[in-house]
Structure 1
Amino acid sequence: MKTVVDNKLVQTYHQEDIQQILQIAIARQAYEGEFSRQQLLEIAAELEISPECLQLAEQEWLNQQSDSQERQKFNLDRRKKLQKRFGNYGLVNIFFILLDLVSGGGLSWSLYILLSLSFLLGLDVWNKSQIQGEEYEKAFQNWKRRHQIKRSINSLLDRLLKA
């Protein structure tokens, strides 16, 4: 936004614009993509960001990084379970098709099982492919809680076995 003050043209920016401009400028810096903690403190000081505010922002960033890594693990776990389900689906359908072929000389009733299981598998694939929304968040929170409980129990057992 441009305004005129004392016959001079003054350029002003919104906070979001400043963040984007600084992000681009920092990305273009020739620091091979890495800054030391001291450089981070110096940049914050130049921007008049208090050390306390910087520390809170850094902690929030660390939490976001941790959450992102947990979500990647959760998505990988979901993918592995879905692959296992595909394998089980194939084995069950092969069994019923072979049973139908051996018992009746052709395919009849096994096709209904094949279609039913395909529909259920399709629904599961649809649900597991969603990585946003309320259902995803519920599933992620449940998975996270189960893994925290497992870690706590394993930690407790380790301490008991060492004692």
Structure 2
Amino acid sequence: MTDFEPKSLRSYSQEDVQQILQLAIARQADDQDKEFSYELLLEIATELEISPDSLKLAERDWRSQQSEIQQRQAFDSYRLTRFRKRFGNYAIVNGCLILVDFIGGGVLSWSLYILLFWGMAVGLDIWNTFQAKGEEYEMAFQKWHRKHQIKQTINTVLNKWFKALQA
């Protein structure tokens, strides 16, 4: 499409329309913190001939996606924290073993074997922690998510039970 074609001959696919509108909204909103009200969103949808029901379903899907993104970020943070703790344990224990080996004989001997074999385990842990895609990651995320939901459910039940006892 060129700028010289009459406006009546221009036509765009749905994907093109989405991209153009996304770019236009991004340019109009110079401030990244600018928020749009639901009424404005509804007005825009009405102008685009999008039904209020479709808008509500889209908003619900968007909220669900945002929730999953936040859960995955929390899971990744949990995995990183767990790795740092394990690596800290590895460094402290092996540092002490190397020191004991060096003080005991003046050279490093048996402690290097422990360092090497435990280091292989740490290498595998690094691989698993920073691999953020694939089936193993999904299984680990689902396991963490179920465990997290169970904890939330138990906390909710206990809080209700304690409130009932206080009343």
Normalising by structure 1, what TM-score?
0.89
State the partner residue of 1:59.
60
State the partner residue of 1:17.
16
One-letter amino acid matched to 2:23: I
Deviation of the 1:9 alpha carbon:
6.7
Check 1:47–1:139 CA distance in 2 against 1; reply closer, same or farther (3 A cut): same
Count of equivalent residues: 158
Pairwise mapping of residues 5-154 of structure 1 onto structure 2 (< 5 A)? 10-30=9-29, 32=31, 33-154=34-155
Q: Distance in 2 between matches of 1:125 and 1:56?
A: 40
Greater share of strand residues, 1 or 2?
1
Q: Distance in 2 between matches of 1:88 and 1:105?
A: 24
Higher alpha-carbon deviation: 87-96 or 26-35: 26-35
Q: Distance in 1 between matches of 2:14 and 2:124?
A: 44
Which of 1 and 2 has higher RCO (CA within 8 Å, sep 6+)? 2
Q: Distance in 2 between matches of 1:26 and 1:152?
A: 40
After superposition, what is the alpha-carbon deviation per residue over 1:31-68, rounded to whole angstroms, capped at 9, x for unaligned? Answer: 84321111100100011101000000000000111111
Q: Distance in 1 between matches of 2:8 and 2:51?
A: 30
Unaligned runs of 5+ in 1: 3-7
**Aligned-residue CA RMSD in angstroms?**
1.9
Normalising by structure 2, what TM-score?
0.87
One-letter amino acid matched to 2:14: Q
After superposition, what is the alpha-carbon deviation per residue over 1:93-138, rounded to whole angstroms, capped at 9, x for unaligned? Answer: 1232133224333211110110111111111111111112211111
Unaligned runs of 5+ in 2: none
